[in-house]
Structure formats: structure tokens, C-alpha cells
Amino acid sequence: MEFVFDIHKIFLEPITKLDGNLLPIRRPLISSSEAQKQIMTVIDEIGKASAKAQRLPAPITSASRMQTNPHHLYILKDCTPKTAGRGVVIGFLKVGYKKLFVLDHTGSHIEAEPLCILDFYIHESLQRNGFGKELFTLMLRTEQVEPQHLAIDRPSEKFLSFLRKHYNLRSTIPQVNNFVVFDGFFRDRKAPGRKLQPKRAEGEIKPYSLSERDFLKQEEGLPWPFSQAQSSLNRAGSLGSSPTRAGPRFIPGEDDFVKSLRSCRPHSLHRAANGEQEDPTQRRRTSGR
Ligand code: COA
């Protein structure tokens, strides 16, 4: 994704971590207010591209949603800054903590606050080149979380395949909300969940924990569960249009820059990436939404 401004002046690292203040730890090379304006444009555009890729009726990632939710956004830019002119954004990953009621293997409700994958997108022309794995790996290190301890907000088929391939996450523990958790979710957690007492009335439990995407249901104009069925249909459709893998592909007529990105295997993870320097105790947590 290209922009009319220079990506390298706002994002100094291959992967930039942002929170609600929308300014990277490594300060941009332009004024903070100008950088923030440009970063807002980037977030809105990549959010739209992700929604389009997932056939969602509206973006679930936007600058304004970032400013009002304690989420972390990891943005991956191209790895060839010297030849790339203004640079391009390759994709992003959005995560955040959410209070959820998660069912364990016995069907008991466990109150937990896992890190959730809320949105994930790599530009269509660059998928299956390892960029998603690169983003995900940096996020895991920065957030200090194991992949099996994550909860995933309605993963697409592509994402499920990604998790199977890279992290061997296969078996899920059935849930009644829209989040997917995998076997191992309850093992060796840093903050073990709290089992809800049986005396607690079922009515007090809110099993349909709010998903990042729930606000879309109103926009879809369909009440739950019809919106669910609609979204599954859409998902099935999007899977059908997935490109097939044939190694790095070169498309005739494609400009040199995109070619160079394709042939560029994931850049080595920058240990100095801004997120990794952050004190993990500074992590912000949500209180539900
Ligand atoms: N069809 C099926 N599986 C796919 C796929 C596709 N079009 N693209 C990626 N994958 C999965 C496969 O397991 C693939 O391994 P394979 O090529 O050996 O089959 C693996 O991801 C490749 O890993 P990587 O190159 O690191 O992933 P990526 O850079 O393509 O990023 C996604 C993965 C899911 C972020 C990316 O495919 C994407 O943006 N998809 C569209 C948006 C989306 O579905 N986001 C998830 C929201 S819940």
C-alpha cells in the first residue's frame, strides 16, 4: 500500500508498534502533529483494505478506534528503504486484552483476560511470502505471550491455516462466543483464569463476549445469528479466491518495487524494534471492549 507521503519518515523500524496515542516510540522525522495525521491516514487505509479482504461491511481497524481502545497495532513496512522511494506498508496485526468467559474442556466457564488477535492483514500481492509470520513472531516476543494462549476473534480460513502451519495450532476448544481458543489455552498460563462458581446463576454469565466485530452486526442490518450465517458465507467465498502458492511470483508489468518486495524474504527481526524496548509492565489492558 503506497501513500502520497514518505512512510520511512513516520515509521523508522521495519515493524512499528503503535498504541492509542498513535506515535511510535522512535519519533518520526517530521513534526509530531504531521506524523500523527499521516499515521491516521495509514491506519484508516490499511483498516479498509483488511475489511475488504475479509468481506466485512466496515473496517474494524481505524485511527479513531485505535484512539478509543487500548489496542496495540503492529505495522510492517517494506524492507528495502533505499530503493523504495516513499516506501509501502505491507500489512498489520492488531491485538488487545479482553475479558472473556472461555469454556474449558469440561464445559466450565472460566473468566480470563487473554491477549486477543483482533485484526490481521497482509497485502494481497505479498501474501504467502512469510510477512505474516514475521509480524506475528515480533508481536509474540513483544507481548511475551505463547501462541496457544491467544484468543482469536473470528479467524478466517487463511488465518486458521496460518496458525496450523506455523504454530501447529489445530484442535480448538469449542466456545459459545465468537473467539477461537486452541488446546493448550489453559496450560501454563501466566495469569490463570478464574473458574466461575456453580452457584453463580447462568444468567449472570455473559457467554457471548463482545467481539471486536460485534458493532458490524448493526451495520449488516441482520440480527444475530443471521449475521453469523451471512459472515460464514462471506468467509467461504473469500477462501475460494485465495491465490495459490508457487513461490515468489513475478507478475508481468509489475513495477520493480513490488518485485523487490516479493523477492525480499522476511527481513531479520529487528531486535531494536520499538515495541521490544517497551517495559511489558506498561501494557494496557481492556476492561471488556
Ligand atoms: N489461502 C490459504 N492459506 C493461506 C493463504 C491463502 N491465500 N495465505 C496465507 N495462508 C496461510 C497458509 O497456511 C500459508 O502457508 P502455505 O503457503 O504453505 O499454504 C501461510 O499462511 C503463509 O504464511 P505467511 O506467508 O507468513 O502468511 P501471510 O503473509 O500470507 O499472512 C494472513 C497471513 C492470514 C495475514 C494473510 O493471508 C491475509 O492477510 N489474509 C487476508 C485477511 C485475513 O484473512 N486476515 C485474518 C483475519 S481473522
For residue 85, the model assigns a pLDDT of 81
Whole-model pTM: value is: 0.77
User: What is the residue type of 27?
Assistant: R
**119 contacts: CB under 8 Å, gap ≥ 6:** 47, 50, 60, 61, 92, 93, 94, 153, 212
Among 159-163, 211-215, 270-274, name the one with the lowest average pLDDT: 270-274
Residues having CB closer than 6 A to ligand 1 are 53-54, 120-122, 127-133, 155-156, 158-159, 161-162, 165, 242-243, 245
Q: Pick 231 or 14 by higher pLDDT.
A: 14
Angstrom distance (rounded) from CA 282 to CA 289: 19
For residue 198, the model assigns a pLDDT of 54
For residue 161, the model assigns a pLDDT of 98
Distance 170 CA to ligand 1 centre (A): 15
For residue 264, the model assigns a pLDDT of 36
State which ligand 1 atom lies nearest to the alpha carbon of 91.
39
Determine which residue's CA is closest to atom 21 belonging to ligand 1.
162
Mean pLDDT, rounded, for 65-83: 86
Pocket probe for ligand 1: among 158, 261, 265, the residue whose CB has the most ligand atoms within 8 Å is: 158
Preceding amide of 225 cis, omega within 30: yes
For residue 23, the model assigns a pLDDT of 94
- Strand ranges across the sheet with 100-103: 100-103, 109-112, 194-195
Neighbours of 224 (CB within 10 A): 12
* Exposed e or buried b per residue across 232-244, where buried means at least 16 C-beta atoms within 10 angstroms of its C-beta: eebbeebeeeeee
Q: Pick 215 or 15 by higher pLDDT.
A: 15
For residue 91, the model assigns a pLDDT of 98
Q: Give the whole-number percent of the chain exceeding pLDDT 90.
A: 61
Determine which residue's CA is closest to atom 10 belonging to ligand 1.
158
Confidence of residue 230 (pLDDT cuts 50, 70, 90): very low
For residue 210, the model assigns a pLDDT of 62
pLDDT exceeds 70 at position 152 = yes
Contact 9, 30 (CB under 8 A): yes
pLDDT tens-digit series, residues 114-135: 999 999 999 999 999 999 999 9
Pocket probe for ligand 1: among 90, 127, 169, 267, the residue whose CB has the most ligand atoms within 8 Å is: 127
Q: Pick 89 or 81 by higher pLDDT.
A: 89
pLDDT exceeds 70 at position 288 = no
Among 110-114, 173-177, 206-210, name the one with the lowest average pLDDT: 206-210
User: What is the residue type of 270?
Assistant: H
Pocket probe for ligand 1: among 162, 231, 249, 265, the residue whose CB has the most ligand atoms within 8 Å is: 162
For residue 144, the model assigns a pLDDT of 96
Determine which residue's CA is closest to atom 31 belonging to ligand 1.
132
State which ligand 1 atom lies nearest to the alpha carbon of 266.
26
Q: Pick 266 or 46 by higher pLDDT.
A: 46
